[in-house]
Chain A
Amino acid sequence: MHPRRWTEFAIESLIRVLGLSSIGFVLLIFLFLLKEGLPAFLEIPPENLLGTRWYPTFDLFGTLPLILGSLLVTATAISIALPLGVATAVFVREVAPGWARELLKPMIEVLAGIPSVVLGFFGMTVLAPLVRETLDAPTGLTAFTGGLVLAYMALPTIISVAEDALDAVPKSYRDAGLAMGATQWQTIWRVVVPAARSGILTAVMLGMGRAIGETMAVMMVTGNAARMPLTLDSLFRPVRTMTATIAAEMGEVARGSTHYHVLFGIGIILFVITFLLNLIAAGAIFKKRRRGGLR
């Protein structure tokens, strides 16, 4: 074979390997989480792991308050970000005049670019005192404060995915609505948004994935008390999430100790949760591609 052919063959093989590398990285990540985290599930009896008390110094590794803490903060974030994000997407796509659109787009890009630690810092120094004074509570570092900051971190994802979903609704749907004598508002509310609902569901999944995995901002504004958030006022009290626990404790833990393995175990739980959320979201994307007739 001509030498030139050989170099080309080598380059193309390399590109193939690089293409496949993403699969390798996902497997590698899962493998190393298992390697360091599995011992936790073997060393600690399940009734301890699923207990309600997280006091690692007394060998109490109850992950339930951490899991519920993550869920509470995430649920708060989504219930703020979903209506706000979808409404903004509808505004940008359907209603806003050109100049408002040109202004909104870069603003949302700026929001997506702000590092999480900067938002956390703002949350700590400006938002938390505000929450404390408004509620007249002992501290402003609460699940609600965390949810509020997280909502804004999930917004860019939710807005852009919801915009794509609205974009995919054929113009003929809108024309049909208007031709029936419906107002533009009725068309948006009764035709366009329902037609985009699978895409909006994708937005929710991806937004939840972002929110549940967020670390720095959450750690800085939620107060980090590992208590069961069971009563109604838990929303306005400190909580601790899974991510914050890993970030706060991994630095001080002895390598190879039970506590170390449990932190990796929590990493496995986080990996599995976000994996499932993304799988559902990806499923919706693939389905939409197959059903090309709608476009």
Chain B
Amino acid sequence: MNRRYLVQRIGFALLGLAALLVVVPILLVVGTIVIRGATAVNWEFLTAMPRDGMKAGGILPAIVGTLLLTLGTALAAIPVGVGGAIYLAEYARDTWLTRLIRLAIINLAGIPSVVYGLFGLGLFVLFLQFGTSILAGSLTLAIMTLPVIISTAEEALRAVPTEFRTVILSLGGTRWQAVRYVVLPQAMPGIITGVILGLLRAAGETAPILFTVAAFYLPRLPRSPFDPTMALPYHLYVISTQVPGMPEEIQYGTALVLLALVLSMNVVATLIRSYYRRRREW
């Protein structure tokens, strides 16, 4: 065989090897956590309060806390994010101001999560005096989630063909009517996908809630947005580093619940995307 083709064979094999080195550890991480965590997860684990300094019982307050935080994040981030995306996709022209907005979004996406935590502590917890609370944490997570929601929603809006807008305008409709009754409904599946992708990041984050929400051990459910709460990611951090003699089963069980929550949101987002992509007629 020609030497050049031998080199090509070796080259392709190395590329395949690289892909394998990327994939195998992912399977290992997910597999290990599923196998070792599955024995711990049962009905009591999901629905009971923790007991004996978290070494027994369930993780209900952490699950509820994470769901509430995600809900709070959604309430704050969706209107601002989708509104921002509508502005960029439908109204903004290519001016220096628009570029500045894009630069700001890129930078928001790059700010380290622990810096968001500092910011949330400074603004929401101390300056606005929300205290360590679900409200402070949700708002912090919402700002962190914005860039994901804005950029995916903008992409979805831009994918709607221009003709859809010109038809409304030619019928005497206004720009807002075109957005409200045609563009937004058409882009909705894409926007929902983006929102879910943003929220799943927020649900799994620990650093931004360290100083804004998280309660180390609080075996009751929060009653108002001004209450602190336990949360799954922070709980996993606590029981794997801060509590000596923690049964490994409970650690893996908590990791599994968090992973399952986040990955199932991921699957839902992917399903919505592919379902509507197939059904779409443009």
Contacts and interface: CB of A to CB of B under 8 A. Distances in A.
Interface of A: 8, 11-12, 14-16, 18-23, 25-26, 28-29, 32-33, 35-36, 83-85, 87-88, 90-92, 95-96, 100, 103-104, 106-111, 113-122, 124-126, 152, 155, 159, 183-186, 188-189, 206, 209-210, 212-216, 220, 243, 246-247, 250-251, 255, 263-264, 267, 270-271, 274-275, 277-279, 281-282, 286
B241 interface: yes
A215 B104 contact: no
A84 B107 contact: no
Interface of B: 4-5, 7-8, 11-12, 14-16, 18-19, 21-23, 25-30, 32-33, 79-80, 83-84, 86-88, 91-92, 97, 99-119, 121-123, 126-127, 143, 146-147, 150, 174-176, 200-201, 203-207, 210-211, 233-234, 236-237, 240-241, 248, 251, 255, 258-259, 262-263, 265-266, 270
Contact of B236 (A35, A118, A184, A246): A118
Contacts, number: 265
Given A36-B118, A213-B113, 7 more contacts: A8-B176, A22-B146, A33-B118, A95-B12, A110-B26, A125-B248, A206-B110
B262 A114 contact: yes
Contact of A278 (B79, B110, B174): B110
B80 to A, nearest CB: 6
B203 to A, nearest CB: 8
A28 B123 contact: yes
Contact of B32 (A90, A108, A126, A264): A126
Given A87-B14, A114-B259, A213-B113, A19 B84 contact: yes
A210 B111 CA distance: 9
A15 B91 contact: yes
Given A18-B87, A22-B105, A115-B206, A90 B259 contact: no
Contact of A185 (B7, B18, B32, B146): B7
A196 B146 CA distance: 29
A216 B206 contact: yes
A205 to B, nearest CB: 9
